[in-house]
Structure 1
């Protein structure tokens, strides 16, 4: 069966919106009656029909009706209230938020609002509209899928709104239209991505992106018959102004446009159109739309308030930033986990920094990497400052029959002393978590120069870690000179943060920056594909 993506629902939204501008009968819905006073007020004429319809139902929507004496939420008398029209209009425009309008049935509900006259039909309309509204609001507030249920590496648990609170807001919100608008994430990042999605949908409607034919590597100064196509491709994505480059030499504005493309797609910024750059240029615009839609879902998983000051690591981008009072005050390149050691997504508070740390070799690395070397050569640890412990007692690696442990549990602990060769470098940043993931220095500096930097066992290696420490510890009177002295001492030192700093490990493959530039990254862990399949399943659940 052909899979339908989110982008296929724009027509439904347009049809529903057209229907909704017709003159549906309207009246402001009655206020729901609190449970404590429901018996003190006269029952609504629809109450018997609602009670009969919901008899035997035990979900949260039915609970709300029971608590209010089965007062209707959307219907006043025999008419759909203004709030109902606003809700159905919001359902019809759900595609703007990369949601599937069909999940909320705007066309059907609008048609039923025109036709319903009997108490039974009005009651059914009221209940179905309530269920669609709670579904829509929940999707906007916390996403359509539970992240950890989709992928165990996503250890984030968005707050799901209470159905009763949502239904109470229908009557109690001073401006229900504004309330509906405020359900989506109230962050500039979400608003910008929504804007980018609309812009790229317009580009897709205008014809999308022209593929650049395969060919030899194109370097600045060369001539190539594909230059006309390359110019058109850069113009389509607004990296090159029409007419800004002419001729048969790859130079000037066209080279700069390609560099911009490379920068915005996480590639090496050298102006060379090689295999990687060509592959990214030839990603269809439909795939880019899906990327943006998937990342709008990820943004819905995040809290609006990430903290007054926080560390934000985008694993797909392999970059870190420190944000304070809404402004980025520090950025750094990072190395993240290999695909088979993928770094998980989660948020924890950084509580201390350790200068000249020990490296306690994780059991998996000790067993899978060091043990085979020691079986082959008992002196494999020599010169690495790695010591072996049995419990609290140090033992000589030369006196252990390593081969006898190849088929069972590894009973020793390996610990590397502080020093220049330490796998964690000279400093680590600790935000205690169940995954044993942290940010640290590294003696392997060359990897930071690469465009793609997924090489670790899961922890996050950061470039210029002492610059990061200086930013994080500035309010504790520890400047770079003090940190350098601590490093030069060679002694392990633990610095407790006066105020814990939230660390957010995220995975975003599409976003729009404050300058209006739209960025895409490779799906290094295959998480886009997993999420896309989960959302496709969720789409069909409520059709």
Structure 2
């Protein structure tokens, strides 16, 4: 479990110890050359303390060392100690967590490790402590602030406090185990880290070259491009050597049956229709450069650092980039299903909340923006549109609003800016919310619901809504959600739906719902998955996280 901000106790301990004397009155150790050099280094700082964060870190260090009587953590007068060398190695290896060792001064630290000069040792001491604080914070909460990187991310990280890092690190015997407390303690993070290392190793070997464009590659074809495809599938592990007929003397350019199954698996990993043929979409996925895939992994490891380790023993997880919903209990996925999410210009935000009830046979209060922009032109064209589509017109949005006969309204005089009415669509098969609505009340007015537009679930990319999330099997989801609430088997749910009765069912226990955005992850079976950046959120995060290093492949 990550070591998080657990209160003020440790902070008060550190600061109360250092509240009395100033640095100039640190005690008898002050006269030792190393302590004197350390005091001077703390006053001068190391590197350019230009940002508020760097200045705050240096202030924390001053108070920490004051409380210790200027006793170093990492060095002695004879040189760097074993813990200094261990910490240096850990900071140098920060790239294994998709973090940049340069952010922690790893190169400067390594250059100082062999020094015995007092001033150099004092600098090494401060650099190591600064590096430790920054590395622990970045592991525990991520390098970026989500809503600063992207205003549509409503993820609130648990802050890692510098004072707590130092208070605990001072007594830590094994720094690797100490830092592990801050790293996300989930197999999902560990699997992605391992895949990142594999892809980086592959990149050092040259990665892969694009497969030339051409006609769709289909089973039974003979084409030199099939040979290139075969090699790619072997490289990625989609085609196992024992299944490759070319290994047994077959024609490498012939699109045989094992190739079909390998292509389907590759398509599954990229969220594509598993038809076993390589058309434009499959070819585009095959030809994304390895540098781009590595960057995707780096970005999604950062997203994992924002998340709590514990999503709830039983929870719903929606990945907007994958357009897939999962109901999870423990480490087991109870069910999953395709969903439709917001269009790019109505993108669904990232946030978490608690589902508390669901509605069977709901009516739909049409949001004013949809009523004005989309329905008003249809009403003005034909006023019978309202009755034909089961809409009731109300005078306004107040609780005492009266029903208005649409025929009595002078629609020619109504426009987007003068539309006081509320539209409510009654329950039924044509209702935009379908027959079921799953509610986790939130400020975005986002919820899960049924839809009459079932054909959209068969598409690879399902970004068609105004922001809410449409689910492909509402009764199945309802049965799973209500499994812990009363007697609501699937048969009873369907009977209630068929009755047409509007029914609200409150959950016995709130169910956490996490709306996420992941464009890369690794499943328990080891399969590495990538998805298209449908909302452009990878690009925003890359700019915030990597700056000038981002997107050289774009």
Matched, 1:510 2:520: yes
Matched, 1:306 2:311: yes
Matched, 1:535 2:538: no
Q: Could you tell me which residue of structure 2 aligns to residue 295 of structure 1?
A: 300
User: Pairwise mapping of residues 170-185 of structure 1 onto structure 2 (< 5 A)?
Assistant: 170-185=169-184
Alpha-carbon distance in 2 for matches of 1:512, 1:418: 41
Alpha-carbon distance in 2 for matches of 1:153, 1:35: 38
Aligned residues: 508
C-alpha displacement of 1:35: 4.2
Given that 2:217 and 2:226 are in contact with CA atoms closer than 8 Å, whether structure 1 keeps it comes out as no
User: Pairwise mapping of residues 92-491 of structure 1 onto structure 2 (< 5 A)?
Assistant: 92-118=92-118, 120-242=119-241, 243-245=244-246, 246-247=250-251, 248-389=253-394, 390=396, 391=398, 392-406=401-415, 408-476=417-485, 477-491=487-501
Q: Could you tell me which residue of structure 2 aligns to residue 498 of structure 1?
A: 508
Alpha-carbon distance in 2 for matches of 1:414, 1:50: 71
- 60-69 vs 135-144, which moves further: 60-69
Alpha-carbon distance in 2 for matches of 1:380, 1:47: 83
| SS of the residue 2:509 aligns to | strand
- 414-423 vs 216-225, which moves further: 216-225
Given that 1:386 and 1:416 are in contact with CA atoms closer than 8 Å, whether structure 2 keeps it comes out as yes
Instruction: Return the TM-score normalized by structure 1.
Output: 0.88
Alignment gaps of 5+ in structure 2: 1-11, 46-54
Kindly provide the CA deviation profile for residues 226-258 of structure 1, in whole angstroms up to 9, marking residues without a partner as x. Answer: 221111111111111344343253221111111
Alpha-carbon distance in 1 for matches of 2:113, 2:261: 56
C-alpha displacement of 1:273: 1.1
Given that 1:144 and 1:538 are in contact with CA atoms closer than 8 Å, whether structure 2 keeps it comes out as no
Alpha-carbon distance in 2 for matches of 1:485, 1:74: 70
| SS of the residue 1:451 aligns to | coil
Given that 1:311 and 1:504 are in contact with CA atoms closer than 8 Å, whether structure 2 keeps it comes out as yes
Alpha-carbon distance in 1 for matches of 2:432, 2:180: 49
- 318-327 vs 531-540, which moves further: 531-540
Change over 3 Å in CA distance of 1:252–1:530 after alignment to 2: same
C-alpha displacement of 1:122: 3.3
Alpha-carbon distance in 2 for matches of 1:74, 1:398: 83
Q: Could you tell me which residue of structure 1 aligns to residue 60 of structure 2?
A: 63
Instruction: Return the TM-score normalized by structure 2.
Output: 0.87
- 233-242 vs 120-129, which moves further: 120-129
Alignment gaps of 5+ in structure 1: 1-31
C-alpha displacement of 1:210: 3.2
Change over 3 Å in CA distance of 1:267–1:231 after alignment to 2: same
Alpha-carbon distance in 2 for matches of 1:521, 1:336: 15
C-alpha displacement of 1:451: 1.6
| SS of the residue 1:393 aligns to | coil
Alpha-carbon distance in 1 for matches of 2:157, 2:186: 15
Change over 3 Å in CA distance of 1:33–1:427 after alignment to 2: closer
| SS of the residue 1:236 aligns to | helix
Change over 3 Å in CA distance of 1:159–1:34 after alignment to 2: closer
- 442-451 vs 41-50, which moves further: 41-50
Given that 2:14 and 2:163 are in contact with CA atoms closer than 8 Å, whether structure 1 keeps it comes out as no
Q: Could you tell me which residue of structure 1 aligns to residue 75 of structure 2?
A: 75
Change over 3 Å in CA distance of 1:434–1:37 after alignment to 2: closer
Alpha-carbon distance in 2 for matches of 1:186, 1:235: 32
Given that 1:354 and 1:428 are in contact with CA atoms closer than 8 Å, whether structure 2 keeps it comes out as yes
Given that 1:210 and 1:232 are in contact with CA atoms closer than 8 Å, whether structure 2 keeps it comes out as no
Given that 1:61 and 1:130 are in contact with CA atoms closer than 8 Å, whether structure 2 keeps it comes out as no
Alpha-carbon distance in 2 for matches of 1:244, 1:499: 54
C-alpha displacement of 1:174: 4.7
